[in-house]
């Protein structure tokens, strides 16, 4: 007999895995990491990966807005709980610079064999569980208490200024397009994808994720925090539900592994002890921050922005702030001091 209480079916799990495979492959070939993208603007004035990220956002924004206006997709929008967005975002930004990778960056590097990323990922999960259902849950409850909405709907840039989303999407696309047009080629020596290919591929993966995931009953696109929470909850927190997002993570790890293996970039890389500790602390902060903010640089800064969520804009700004302050304090300031010392020695 056909059970009414059917568990998530195999097609759901397969589609999550397939989108995850493509996601992991594109991340690995594109060397895509929002941490590197955000950080290198400040550190070496290099915006190559930042452009890849921006292109992925624009492609997904166009695709999702088109599908929504054609009535083919109904999206859900991350809420604006501003206190949680800001505190969580800054915490995540600090964490990702310490760990040397954002949540997706950390995941695909596990597939490539980075020991530091593996530790960061485990700590990430610990942070998520602590904040969502552990000792820090009251913090989350308190900071998520104030939710700003427009007529009971989650706040988006479009409904905030009261216009059709296209009035926001078109200017953003034109501005970004001009910027992409004017920026030249960047040098790649490792044989990875150029930023244009990486950005476009990730945008397409994002659109496919919205469709496949929503069809499975999970009303969201690409994300890392919720899916990681489902796995860590499954193993350590009594969550029995493995859904589309959970399989996305499995696919991501596999996709990055396959990509690294066929391109002979698979290698067990172990940094020194001090750096491992730094990865653990960074991963923990990322987990706490991402859970609090309700998403990370994927859930907010890629998927949330594709539905113009104000909560995601605030979170992304907070992540940038946290990342830049940390990068300045850890890398820019020490090298400036070094330059001064060298200049003095030369005198």
The window from 52-60, 165-173, 318-326, 333-341 that contacts another protein (CB under 8 A) reads 333-341
Work out how close the CB of 174 gets to another protein at its nearest, in angstroms, rounded to a whole number.
Answer: 26
Instruction: Identify the residue among 140, 213, 297, 301 touching another protein (CB under 8 A).
Output: 213
182 near another protein (CB under 8 A): no
177 near another protein (CB under 8 A): no
Give the CA-trace dihedral at 282, 285, 286, 292, to 10 degrees: 180
Q: Please check whether residue 34 is in contact with residue 54, taking contact to mean a CB–CB distance below 8 angstroms.
A: no
196 near another protein (CB under 8 A): no
Residue carrying structure tokens 């992540």:
319
122 near another protein (CB under 8 A): no
Query: What is the rounded distance in angstroms from the CA atom of residue 338 to the CA atom of residue 246?
Result: 46
214 near another protein (CB under 8 A): yes
Residue whose C-alpha is closest to residue 105's, from 95, 346, 144, 309: 95
Instruction: Identify the residue among 95, 127, 199, 295 touching another protein (CB under 8 A).
Output: 295
Work out how close the CB of 6 gets to another protein at its nearest, in angstroms, rounded to a whole number.
Answer: 6
Give the bridge partners for 114, in sequence order: 269
Token duo for residue 274: 């001090």
| Contacting another protein within 52-81 (CB under 8 A) | 67, 71-74, 76, 78-79
223 near another protein (CB under 8 A): yes
Report the run of H or E that residue 153 belongs to, with start and end. Answer: strand 153-154
Token duo for residue 15: 């589609």
Chain-centre distance of CA 268, in angstroms?
A: 24
Binding pattern for the stretch 2-31 against another protein, x by CB under 8 A and - elsewhere: x-xxxxx--x--xx--xx-xx--x-----x
Work out how close the CB of 175 gets to another protein at its nearest, in angstroms, rounded to a whole number.
Answer: 24
The window from 53-61, 159-167, 199-207, 318-326 that contacts another protein (CB under 8 A) reads 199-207
Neighbour-count burial for 112-122, b at 16+ CB within 10 Å, e otherwise? bbbbbbbbbbb
The window from 54-62, 166-174, 220-228, 318-326 that contacts another protein (CB under 8 A) reads 220-228
Q: Please check whether residue 231 is in contact with residue 246, taking contact to mean a CB–CB distance below 8 angstroms.
A: yes
Instruction: Identify the residue among 40, 173, 180, 237 touching another protein (CB under 8 A).
Output: 40
Work out how close the CB of 91 gets to another protein at its nearest, in angstroms, rounded to a whole number.
Answer: 15
Query: What is the rounded distance in angstroms from the CA atom of residue 250 to the CA atom of residue 168?
Result: 35
């Amino acid at each position: 007999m056909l059970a009414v209480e059917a568990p998530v079916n195999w097609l759901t799990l397969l589609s999550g895995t397939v989108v995850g495979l493509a996601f992991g492959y594109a991340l690995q070939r594109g060397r895509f990491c929002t941490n590197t993208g955000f950080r290198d603007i400040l550190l070496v004035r290099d915006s190559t990966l930042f452009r890849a990220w921006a292109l992925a956002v624009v492609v997904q924004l166009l695709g999702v807005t088109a599908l929504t206006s054609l009535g083919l997709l109904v999206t859900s929008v991350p809420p604006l709980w501003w206190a949680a967005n800001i505190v969580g975002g800054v915490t995540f930004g600090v964490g990702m610079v310490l760990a040397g990778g954002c949540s997706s960056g950390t995941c695909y590097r596990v597939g490539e064999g980075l020991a530091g990323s593996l530790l960061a990922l485990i700590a990430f999960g610990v942070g998520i569980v602590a904040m969502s259902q552990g000792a820090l849950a009251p913090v989350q409850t308190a900071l998520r208490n104030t939710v700003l909405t427009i007529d009971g709907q989650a706040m988006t840039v479009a409904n905030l200024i009261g216009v059709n989303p296209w009035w926001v999407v078109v200017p953003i696309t034109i501005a970004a397009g001009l910027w992409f047009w004017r920026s030249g080629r960047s040098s790649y020596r490792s044989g990875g994808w150029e930023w244009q290919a990486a950005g476009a591929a990730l945008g397409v993966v994002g659109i496919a994720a919205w469709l496949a995931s929503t069809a499975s009953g999970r009303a969201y696109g690409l994300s890392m925090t919720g899916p990681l929470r489902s796995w860590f909850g499954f193993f350590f927190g009594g969550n029995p539900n493995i859904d589309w997002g959970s399989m996305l993570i499995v696919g991501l790890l596999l996709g990055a592994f396959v990509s690294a293996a066929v391109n002979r970039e698979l290698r067990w890389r172990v940094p020194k002890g001090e750096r491992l500790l730094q990865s653990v602390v960074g991963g923990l902060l990322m987990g706490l921050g991402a859970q609090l903010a309700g998403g990370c640089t994927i859930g907010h800064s890629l998927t949330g922005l594709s539905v113009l969520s104000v909560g995601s804009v605030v979170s992304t700004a907070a992540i940038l702030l946290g990342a830049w302050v940390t990068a300045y304090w850890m890398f820019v300031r020490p090298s400036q001091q070094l330059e001064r010392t060298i200049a003095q020695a030369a005198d």
